[in-house]
Amino acid sequence: MSTRFQILLVLLAATLVVVPSAVNGQGQPDDFGRFVGSLEDAFGRSDADAVLGYAGGRIDLAIEGGARQYSRAQAKYVLRSFLESNPVHSFALVVNTSNQKGRFLEGTMRAGKANYDVFVWVRNRSGSWEVREIIFQKRKR
C-alpha cells in the first residue's frame, strides 16, 4: 500500500468519526439532538413545565437581568408567569458550544412584543441532559 493511499485512508476514517459529531456538536448526536429538539419545542409552546422537566433540583434563572437560583418548583412558577405574560411566537436554538463542564445553547425568542436572546447551560448527568441555567435578555430595538 502506498504512503499516499495510507494517508488518504486515515483522513477518510477521521472524517467519518468527526462528521457525525459535528452535526450536533456532540459525541452522541441522536440523544443530544432529540434533547435540543424537545427543549425547542417546549419553549415554542410556552410550556414551562416541559422546559423545567429537564432541570435538576436547583436552577439558575435570569429574566431581563434579575438572576436568581431557584428550586425546580419555584423556577416553574417564575418561568410560567414570564411565558404567560409573554407568549412565545417563535423560538430557535441556533448556537451550540461546549466545554468540559457542559454545553451552552444560544437561541432567539420572539415573545409578546419583544425579542430575546436566550442562553441555556446544560450538562450531561448520568447519561441524561440536565438544564442548569436559563437566561433571557431582551434585545434593544
How far apart CA 86 and CA 68 sit, in angstroms, is 20
User: Dihedrals φ, ψ of 84, to 5°?
Assistant: -70, -35
Contact 42, 76 (CB under 8 A): no
- How many domains would you assign to the chain? 1
pLDDT beyond 50 at 75: yes
Q: In this predicted model, what pLDDT tens digit does every residue of 9-66 receive, in sequence order?
A: 343 343 333 333 333 333 444 688 999 999 999 999 999 999 999 998 999 999 998 8
**93 within domain boundaries:** yes
pLDDT beyond 60 at 87: yes
Which residue did the predictor score with more confidence, 68 or 10? 68
87: Cα within 13 Å, side-chain hemisphere: 1
Q: Which domain holds residue 50?
A: 25-138
The predicted structure's pLDDT at residue 1 = 53
The predicted structure's pLDDT at residue 98 = 86
**42 within domain boundaries:** yes
Confidence of residue 121 (pLDDT cuts 50, 70, 90): very high
How far apart CA 10 and CA 45 sit, in angstroms, is 46
How far apart CA 126 and CA 123 sit, in angstroms, is 10
**72 within domain boundaries:** yes
pLDDT beyond 70 at 4: no
State the CATH number of the domain containing residue 63.
Answer: 3.10.450.50
**9 within domain boundaries:** no
CA-nearest of 123, 91, 93 to 106 is 93
**15 within domain boundaries:** no
pLDDT beyond 80 at 97: yes
**103 within domain boundaries:** yes
**117 within domain boundaries:** yes
**124 within domain boundaries:** yes
Query: Percent of the chain having pLDDT more than 70?
Result: 78
**Alpha helices of 25-140 — where are they, by DSSP H?**
29-44, 48-52, 72-85
How far apart CA 96 and CA 120 sit, in angstroms, is 10
